[in-house]
Homo-oligomer: A and B are copies of this chain.
Amino acid sequence: MARSTHTDRDFPQAGHDHAACIDEALAAAAEVCRLSGARLTELRRQVLLLIWDSHAPVGAYQLLDKLSRDGRTAAPPTIYRALDFLSGQGLIHRIESLNAYVGCRDPRRPHVGQFLICRECGTAAELEDAEIAGTVRARCADADFEMHHLTLEVLGRCPGCRRTGPGQADR
């Protein structure tokens, strides 16, 4: 099997072909919306693109700033509605521990978000680990708890930042 710029499980590398990430995200978004009958309007597409500026989760008001710089009129509801839509289509995820939003790597398949987030460079990697999901489900079953939604966010230091400098750990 051909290996793309990064495999499913890799942490996004510093020098990777991010244009490919963006292309793939847009293509996936178009397909997902077509299948669900939802309308991927220009505004929503624009916001999705801004989120995909990088693999680092970005705040709603940062997105607002970016939108404004792009010449759009933009007030908070503008961005929050777009975020609601994109999140509803599974095209982005909210990172609860950061109040921020990040693009989904594989919106075609339904999944819970599991994230590794680097405190230094901000980059977030999305996992889709069946073993973690299975263990959590099993524990919920043990407790007779009906699971609706899982938030799993690991904060730490990514491979790239570990190589760069082991000394200056935080902030």
Residues of A within 8 A of B (CB): 9-11, 96-97, 116, 118-119, 125, 127, 129, 131-132, 135-136, 139-140, 142-159, 162, 170
Contacts and interface: CB of A to CB of B under 8 A. Distances in A.
9 contacts: A11-B145, A131-B135, A132-B132, A132-B135, A135-B135, A145-B157, A146-B156, A146-B157, A150-B153
Number of chain copies forming the complex:
2
Contacts of A97: 96, 151
B159 A136 contact: no
Task: Determine chain A's interface SS by DSSP, over half rule.
Answer: mixed
B151 A145 contact: no
A154 to B, nearest CB: 5
Contacts of A140: 116, 154, 156
A159 to B, nearest CB: 4
A150 B9 CA distance: 18
Given A96-B96, A152-B152, A143 B125 contact: yes
A97 B157 CA distance: 22
A143 B155 contact: no
Given A132-B135, A135-B135, A151-B152, A144 B9 contact: no
